[in-house]
Amino acid sequence: MLEIQEKFDTQGYEEIIAVAGTDNIHITEAMDNGKSTGYIAYVYEPECTVVYGYDDGGDLMLCDGLVRSVMFKSVLKGIGTMIFKLHDTNGFINLRKLKFLEDNSTVCENLDRFMNACQNCRRGEI
């Protein structure tokens, strides 16, 4: 069973920490039967959440779940903007397919709108 959960140590993520240039990084992993199948690495800043990297193994739905999990936590913290500072620019492809980002933008604004849009889908309002 797939679970998306925050990892409370950064062992194994030293490379992404070096790229981010901060040790204040959070890691959320997708776990399937105790094995990591993906991750997203990010930092909460006062006005935004900065995503430094993610790995979805090419699974568009996993990308959606990882990004939305961090969006949800950001909204709970009162943060409304997410900035993607990805070292691997191929990561922007899925983010644009999922409409998290427009064209050449690296900024996703109004995170609350994404969370409410999902709620409206469930109600059949969209």
Give domain limits for the chain.
2-123
Annotate 104-117 with b (16+ C-beta within 10 A) or e (fewer): eeeebeebeebeee
SS3 track for the chain = CEEEEEECCCCCCHHHHHHHCCCCCEEEEEEECCEEEEEEEEEECCCCEEEEEEECCCCHHHHHHHHHHHHHHHHHCCCCEEEECCCCCCHHHHHHHCCCCCCCCCEEECHHHHHHHHHHHHHCCC
**So what's the architecture of 2-123 in CATH?**
3-Layer(aba) Sandwich (3.40)
Q: Residue 95 corresponds to which tokens in the numbers above? A: 């983010």
Mean pLDDT (whole number) for 26-34: 94
Strands 81-84 and 49-55: parallel
For residue 120, name the pLDDT band (cuts at 50, 70, 90): very low
For residue 45, name the pLDDT band (cuts at 50, 70, 90): very high
* Tens digits of residue pLDDT in 55-103: 999 999 999 999 999 999 999 999 999 999 998 889 999 999 999 999 8
